[in-house]
Amino acid sequence: MKSFGRPLLKLRVSLLDACNFGCVYCMPETAAFCNKEDYLSPDEIVGIVGNLVEYGIEEVRLTGGEPTLRHDLACVAEKLGKLPLKKISITTNASRLLQFLPALADGPCRSLNISLDSLEPSNFEKITNHDGLGRVLDAIERARALGFKIKINMVVMKGLNHHEINHFVRFAEREQIEVRFLEVMNIGVVRSHFKQWYYSGRDILRQIESEFTLSSVKVAADSTAQVFSTAKGGRIGLIASESMPFCDSCSRLRLSSKGILRACLMKEDGKNLRGVPSHEYPALLQEIAAMKPLTRIKEIHEPMYQIGG
């Protein structure tokens, strides 16, 4: 499966739109979540992903909302592990992760992307509207002890947490965990704050290089991140999707919690795969591939929690 010569290899699967955090860049005050009955069941997810594997999907990341709000998270991962996938990972805020780690540790998912936007308790609560920083850090420590590969994602916002960037670099060095800095994206509730909060990838690198010496690390052609190492072995990434977009090499598709396959984070249109027989996939996937943009779309009104992380 290709889109204008780009192989489509990776799939983000949103298990639900609900979240127990109220992050300022994601969740509007009037957020309304779907009924649980509307979410794809584990068997529906595996059926759809299994069909997509036939057309080239190699990696799956389970996202939300917050995927640990699904009691069957480990079950979904286990079932996906029976498919010929190269990698299964989970993106989570980690506030409820501890209770899932024993089951996940025995399964096929060995990679965790953990959203962590502040290392300061008061600032963490200000950004997330949740006071669970300690639980997140405990989950990171336990997951590392269990051998999970961990990446930390920090969404950088000027005036809110950009002063913590170098603290996170030191965290990466101390804990030997990769930290990735993300430009805030012009999506949903951010649109009215974008000029106020936006802190460019170049500004992020300039701030880091005021204290650290960075060496470039080679990454895959379809990587969303530029990756660097510090002199003390810290590993950091930069995802500058606004100022340095990677649309022309993007290999990702997104499956919503209700079964809509989307070609791009920034495009609201898609195709409903729920209940679709396998013989109809070729035509639908051709339409999806044609929807995938080659250049950056300026903004999208739909809130991030509805799209999937």
How would you classify the pairing of strands 111-115 and 87-92?
parallel
| CATH code of the domain covering residue 300 | 3.20.20.70
CA 274/CA 169 separation, integer angstroms: 42
Q: Give 217's strand partners.
A: 227
pLDDT at residue 268 in the model: 83
What are the tokens at 205? 């690198």
Residue reference for tokens 């590392």: 144
Asked whether the beta carbons of 207 and 166 are under 8 A apart, the reply is: yes
pLDDT at residue 130 in the model: 96
Amino acid at 57: I
Asked whether the beta carbons of 165 and 156 are under 8 A apart, the reply is: yes
What are the tokens at 127? 């950004």
Give the total number of structural domains in the chain.
1
- What is the number of other CB atoms lying within 10 angstroms of the CB of residue 229? 18
pLDDT at residue 304 in the model: 76
Question: Residue 103's domain spans which residues?
Answer: 2-307
pLDDT at residue 298 in the model: 85
Asked whether the beta carbons of 124 and 133 are under 8 A apart, the reply is: yes
Global pTM reads 0.95
Print the SS3 string covering the chain.
CEECCEECCEEEEECCCCCCCCCCCCCCCCCCCCCHHHCCCHHHHHHHHHHHHCCCCCEEEEECCCHHHCCCHHHHHHHHCCCCCCEEEEEECCCCCHHHHHHHHCCCCCEEEEECCCCCHHHHHHHHCCCCHHHHHHHHHHHHHCCCEEEEEEEECCCCCHHHHHHHHHHHHHHCCEEEEEECCCEHHHHHCHHHHCCCHHHHHHHHHCCCCEEEECCCCCCCCEEEEECCCCEEEEECCCCCCCHHHCCEEEECCCCEEECCCCCCCEEECCCCCHHHHHHHHHHHHHHCCCCCCCCECCCHHHHCC
Asked whether the beta carbons of 282 and 231 are under 8 A apart, the reply is: no
pLDDT at residue 309 in the model: 63
Q: What is the pLDDT along the chain (309 residues), one digit of tens a residue?
A: 776 667 899 999 999 999 999 999 998 888 889 999 999 999 999 999 999 999 999 999 999 999 999 999 999 999 999 999 999 999 999 999 999 999 999 999 999 999 999 999 999 999 999 999 999 999 999 999 999 999 999 999 999 999 999 999 999 999 999 999 999 999 999 999 999 999 999 999 999 999 999 999 999 999 999 999 999 999 999 999 999 999 989 999 999 999 999 999 888 889 999 999 999 999 999 999 999 988 888 888 787 777 776
CA 272/CA 260 separation, integer angstroms: 4
CA angle 148/149/151 to nearest 5° reads 125
Amino acid at 241: S
Residue reference for tokens 């992050």: 23
